[in-house]
């Protein structure tokens, strides 16, 4: 298992993440709601030190901003669940904003057994975001989910493809934003590891390296009670990335 983890991490670590609206900083895994089950995830992240110069007129930059995004989800079948994101943002001057809705559907046909194993699926998302936060307001995202989990290790890859559907931003085709997670079980219900996020620009023609950005997070996952917690501290690895970001995800199951 260890050689597999090392190869998986190194394959993506060479890929440098330009963030637009950083409302959700997450590597998608095999989690899925059971049929009829509701769930709530609350994504919280703050950028104590980040980009302060706007990329386009009117943009609200992430520097010293706080983002809180509730996500309500519902299980349709054993392999499909759907969700709605409602991103709320609080910027450095204490102004608050609702960024706009995001809808998603997750299909996970290959799921690990109780002892672990491989899993695979895809998540589709439609975003309708205000121009203050993303120049191309409307977009679609296709997030393949590929991973392996056993009692000791987990390794997950999301080679994300996104497409701007707003007129004037479609040139060049899809954007490529790979993400990876490697974690190790430290105790019952507790794991620690790394998450890596990258945005290389257009799939057909990557952005110049100086315009790319990439972030490495040290993360902890706690699943020992009614609320699951993912907590991470991220460090931007070049000048095009926010220097520091702190993030947390609270996973609150509703039941049926």
pLDDT value at residue 95: 81
How does pLDDT run across 186-212, given as a tens digit for each residue?
A: 999 999 999 999 999 888 888 888 888
How does pLDDT run across 43-85, given as a tens digit for each residue?
A: 999 888 877 776 777 676 777 778 899 999 999 999 999 999 9
- Mean pLDDT across the stretch 170-192? 91
How does pLDDT run across 7-16, given as a tens digit for each residue?
A: 333 333 333 3
Residue boundaries of the structural domains of the chain: 2-255
- Mean pLDDT across the stretch 120-135? 83
- pLDDT(125) > 70: yes
Highest mean pLDDT among 71-80, 84-93, 231-240: 71-80
Q: Kindly report the length of the chain.
A: 256
How does the average pLDDT of the chain come out, rounded? 85
How does pLDDT run across 94-112, given as a tens digit for each residue?
A: 788 888 899 999 999 999 9
- pLDDT(2) > 60: no
Q: Tell me if 194 sits within 8 A of 237, measured CB to CB.
A: no
User: pTM for the full model?
Assistant: 0.85
CATH code of the region 2-255: 2.40.160.40
């Amino acid at each position: 298992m260890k050689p597999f983890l090392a190869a998986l991490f190194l394959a993506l670590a060479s890929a440098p993440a330009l963030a637009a609206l950083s409302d959700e900083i997450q590597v998608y895994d095999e989690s899925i709601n059971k049929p009829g089950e509701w769930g709530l995830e609350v994504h919280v992240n703050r950028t104590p030190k980040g980009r302060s110069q706007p990329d386009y007129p009117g943009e609200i930059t992430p520097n010293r901003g706080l983002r809180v995004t509730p996500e309500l989800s519902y299980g349709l079948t054993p392999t499909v669940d759907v969700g709605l994101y409602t991103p709320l943002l609080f910027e450095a001057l204490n102004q608050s904003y609702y960024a706009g809705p995001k809808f998603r559907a997750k299909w996970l046909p290959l799921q690990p057994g109780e002892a672990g194993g491989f899993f695979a699926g895809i998540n589709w998302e439609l975003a309708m975001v205000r121009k203050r936060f993303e120049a191309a307001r409307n977009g679609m995202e296709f997030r393949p989910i590929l991973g392996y989990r056993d009692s000791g290790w987990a390794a997950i890859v999301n080679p994300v493809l996104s497409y701007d559907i707003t007129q004037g931003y479609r040139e060049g085709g899809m954007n490529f934003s790979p993400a990876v997670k490697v974690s190790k079980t430290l105790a019952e219900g507790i794991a620690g590891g790394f998450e890596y996020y990258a945005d290389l620009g257009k799939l057909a023609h990557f952005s110049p390296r100086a315009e790319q950005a990439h972030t490495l997070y040290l993360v902890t996952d706690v699943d020992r009670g009614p609320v699951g917690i993912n907590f991470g501290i991220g460090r931007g690895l070049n000048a095009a990335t926010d220097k520091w970001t702190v993030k947390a995800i609270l996973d609150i199951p509703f039941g049926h």
